[in-house]
Amino acid sequence: MSKHHHHDVPKDSYEIPTSTWEKGRNIIVAVFILGWVAALAGYSLDHKQFFPSYLVAFFFGAGIAIGAALFTMIQHLTGSAWSVPLRRLMENIMMSMPILALLFLPVAFGLHELYEWSHPGIMKTDALLAKKEAYLNPTAFYIRAVVYFVIWSFWAWRLSSWSRAQDTSKDLNLTFKSERISAPGMLLFFLSASLASVDWVMSLQPHWYSTIFGVYCLAGGMWAFFAILTFTLLRFRANGILANSVTVEHYHDMGKWMFALTVFWAYIAFSQYMLIWYANLPEETSFFMVRRSGTWETVSGILLFGHFAATFLFLLARASKRNLNVLRFVTVWILCMHYIDVYWLVMPNFSKAGVAPHWMDAACFVAVMSTLALGFWWRLKSAPIVAVGDPRLEKGLEFQNV
C-alpha cells in the first residue's frame, strides 16, 4: 500500500563492505588473542579463581545464544514480518551454539573445582544431597550437557541453513519447514535451557532449589540478546550498513521487547523472592541469606534498581524507544546489568564473605565473548546479512507502527 512513500528510499547493500569487514575481523582477532592469553595466564596462576570467572562468562554467552534461538523460533511460529530484515543477524547469533559446545569444555574440565556435588564423599554423607545423587552426578551431568548442545546446535543449524538456502532458491517450502520445526523446538529449548540453568548454575549451591530458576535465566538471556542485537544494528547503522533497511520502526519494536523483558525478568525474580521470603524455610532461604548480607546486598540492590527500575523508566516512554541515542545507551546498560545478574548468581557461592572482583572476570569475559563474536563475524561474510529470499521481507522492510 501507498508505495510512493518508499520508492525514493535508497536501497541498502546486503553485503558488508570488505574493508569494513576486514577491519572488524582484525579488531576481534586482536581482542580474541589478548583475551585468551590473559585467561590462560589466569588459569595457570590461580585456577581456583579461573573456573568461577569462566563460568560467569560462559553462562552470559550461552544465555544470549539461547535467547536468539527462542526469538527466531517465535518469529517463525507467528509468521512475523517486521523482524524479517533482522532475522539473519539473529540466526548468526543463534549459530553460536556449536562454538558454545567447545567453550563448555573448561566448565566440564573444572567440574570438581566448581561443583561441590561432584565429590562422591559429600554426596554420601549429606542426607539431603544423597537423595539428589541420581541427578547430580558427573556422568549424568556430562550426558545432559551433550544432549543440550546436540539439540541446540541441530535446531540452530536447520533454521539457519534453510534460511540461507532460501536466499537463492526463494523456496516457500523452507518457510513452512522452519515453522514446523519451531514448535517442537520451542518446547525442547525451554525445557533443555531450564535444565541447563539448573545443572550449570543452580547446582553450585546443591542444597538449594527453585523451580522458577530456569525461567529466570531464560528471561535474562533473552533480554541481553535483544540488547546485543540492537547494539550491533546501531553500530552497523553508524557505519552505513542496513541504515535504510532497519528503520526507527524496527528499533521501536526492539525497544518494546527490551521493555517487556525488563518487566518479565522482574516478575520472575520477584516471584522467586516472595515465595521464598514468605515460606521462610532454611533450605530455600540460604540463596538469599548470602545475597542479602555484606556487600552482596549492595549487588542485590543494584539489580533491583538498575536491572529493573531504571531500565523500566528508561524505556517506558514511546519517545525513548524511538530515540536511537537513548537506545544505544540502554543496550549497553542492559548488557552491564545482565553481567552483574549472572555474576550475582554464580559468585556468592565462591566468595561468601563479599564481592571480590578479579581481573580474571574480565579476561574470561573477553575470551568467551570474542570467540562468539569471531564466529558471528565470519558468518556475516558467508551469506547476505538479510534473509533476501524470505517471502515476507518486502513487508518487513516497509513495516510501520500504526
Partner 1 sequence: MAEHSSIHGVVADFDSPDTLLDAVRAARAKGYTKMEAYTPFPIHGIDEAMGAKQSILGYIVLCGSATGLTTAILLQWWTGSIAYPLVISGKPLFAFEFGFPIMFELTVLLSAFAAVFGMLGLNGLPRLNHPIFNYSGVAGSSDDRFLLVIEASDKKFDANETKDFLATLGAEKLEVIEA
Positions in the binding site for partner 1 (CB under 8 A): 1-2, 4-5, 270, 273-274, 277-278, 280, 317-318, 398, 400, 402
Q: Where are the alpha helices (DSSP H) in 79-137?
A: 84-94, 97-103, 105-109, 111-114, 120-125, 127-130
Question: C-beta of 336: minimal distance to partner 1 in Å?
Answer: 25
Question: C-beta of 398: minimal distance to partner 1 in Å?
Answer: 8
The DSSP 8-state label assigned to residue 109 in this structure reads: H
Residue number with CB closer to partner 1 (236 or 314): 314
Q: How far is the C-alpha of 357 from the C-alpha of 20, rounded, in Å?
A: 35
Question: C-beta of 18: minimal distance to partner 1 in Å?
Answer: 36
238: left (phi over 0), alpha (psi -120 to 50) or beta: alpha
Q: What is the DSSP string of 144-184?
A: HHHHHHHHHHHHHHHHHHHHHHHHHH--HHHHHHHHHHHHH
Residue number with CB closer to partner 1 (284 or 398): 398
Residue number with CB closer to partner 1 (275 or 332): 275
Residue number with CB closer to partner 1 (3 or 48): 3
9: left (phi over 0), alpha (psi -120 to 50) or beta: beta
Question: C-beta of 3: minimal distance to partner 1 in Å?
Answer: 8
Residue number with CB closer to partner 1 (95 or 269): 269
Residue number with CB closer to partner 1 (19 or 280): 280
Residue number with CB closer to partner 1 (139 or 280): 280
Cell of 165: 538456502
3-state helix/strand/coil string of 300-331 = HHHHHHHHHHHHHHHHHCHHHHCCHHHHHHHH
Check: CB of residue 73 under 8 Å from CB of residue 189. yes
Question: C-beta of 261: minimal distance to partner 1 in Å?
Answer: 17
Question: C-beta of 273: minimal distance to partner 1 in Å?
Answer: 7
Q: How far is the C-alpha of 109 from the C-alpha of 373, rounded, in Å?
A: 23
Question: C-beta of 52: minimal distance to partner 1 in Å?
Answer: 30
128: left (phi over 0), alpha (psi -120 to 50) or beta: alpha
